[in-house]
Structure 1
Amino acid sequence: MIPSFCPQCGTELGERRIEGRDRKWCGSCERPVYRNAVPCAGVTVLDGDRVLLVQRTAPPGEGEWSIPAGHLEVEEEPRVGAARELKEETGLSIDPAALTLLETAQLDSLGEKHVVSVGYAASVADVTGTPEAGSDAAAVEWVPLDGLAERPLRPHVEQRVRVRFARWPTSGSS
């Protein structure tokens, strides 16, 4: 959402050209009000030729399947946030140190919301617990790679899963 008022003092914002861009400007604080991408993190967990997916219960993508992921909390390291999201959405636990960085990507914008996603990978050997749908998940399932096309997936999911399989094609371990 494009801000109309300064988050510091509440003054209505104007605009000013700064660093080659039109930016919102607070005349009272004499500073720009930046709009930054929202940081998210997630975990692609593999078990042989299967990947762990959750069915979303909230927009965007309600009803679609995705890897366990979500917004980072303030001051939360991406690895820790990814492990937290895995636990919240699937009931599975992982030591954040066991996560392997898979990629970082700017996802397609959702209107005025822009997301930078930090994707991690893990093997089923690195997680503990029994998969069970938690917050923001209607279901959690192990889906074979050749079964991805049968599910409505979030736009970035298939590419991320295929990158994960391509990097560790034989064992599915991280």
Structure 2
Amino acid sequence: MVTHVPSYCPHCGHQLTTVEREGRPRHCCPSCDRVVYRNPVPGAAVVVVDGDSVLLVQRRIDPGAGRWCDPGGHLEVDERPAVAAARELEEETGLGVDPGGLTLVDALQMVPWGEKYVVTIGYTVKRRETTGALSPGTDARAARFVHREDLSTVEFAFDYVPGRLDRALALFD
């Protein structure tokens, strides 16, 4: 399994060819006959809701540097999605949360950037269920709560974010 378009077999090093397998074009090794599957990278995020406001972070890095999104990032190899979401929330905003207190909002395939595909798993939690002081972490230029009426003026880093924010807010209406 690889996340980018492969050129060589990770098992034996031969150059790959494209063949029809399982009803799709697949990268296959003509030497060892293994298919090299491309799979999306898993990510997780948390929408913190405080009344009619949601917590957003301004991204420091690409993709989307300078734009806003829900706090989140990639799962570590040995991490459950809710644990990753809680870790990313703390890393990016200084707010802590018990992973067991998160409510699932959605799971979406993000629009790819370059050759990278990501499936993001979204959670939500009320602000009063978090601990700590709001402070942007190393991946964030800023972190702030934005009122739902002001969300239409925000420049989002990813197309899925407005819908996820709406679904999270609706869970607590």
TM range (shorter): over 0.9
Map of 1:164 onto structure 2: 168
Aligned amino acid, residue 130 of structure 1: A
Please state if 1:93 is matched with 2:104: no
Structure 1 unaligned regions, length at least 5: 170-174
Map of 1:72 onto structure 2: 75
Aligned amino acid, residue 59 of structure 2: R
Structure-2-length-normalised TM-score? 0.93
Cα distance in 1 for partners of 2:24, 2:14 equals: 21
CA shift digits 1:75-121 (9 cap, x unpaired): 21100110111011011111100100111111222232221110000
Aligned amino acid, residue 22 of structure 2: E
Please state if 1:24 is matched with 2:27: yes
Aligned amino acid, residue 85 of structure 1: E
Cα distance in 2 for partners of 1:28, 1:84 equals: 42
Please state if 1:56 is matched with 2:59: yes
Map of 1:172 onto structure 2: none
CA shift digits 1:18-74 (9 cap, x unpaired): 101111112333210000011110000011111111000111111100000111111
Aligned amino acid, residue 81 of structure 2: P
Aligned amino acid, residue 12 of structure 1: Q
Structure-1-length-normalised TM-score? 0.92
Equivalent of residue 2 in structure 1, options 1, 5, 10: 5
Map of 1:11 onto structure 2: 14
Matches within 5 A, 1:102-117: 102-117=105-120
Cα distance in 2 for partners of 1:135, 1:28 equals: 45
Map of 2:49 onto structure 1: 46
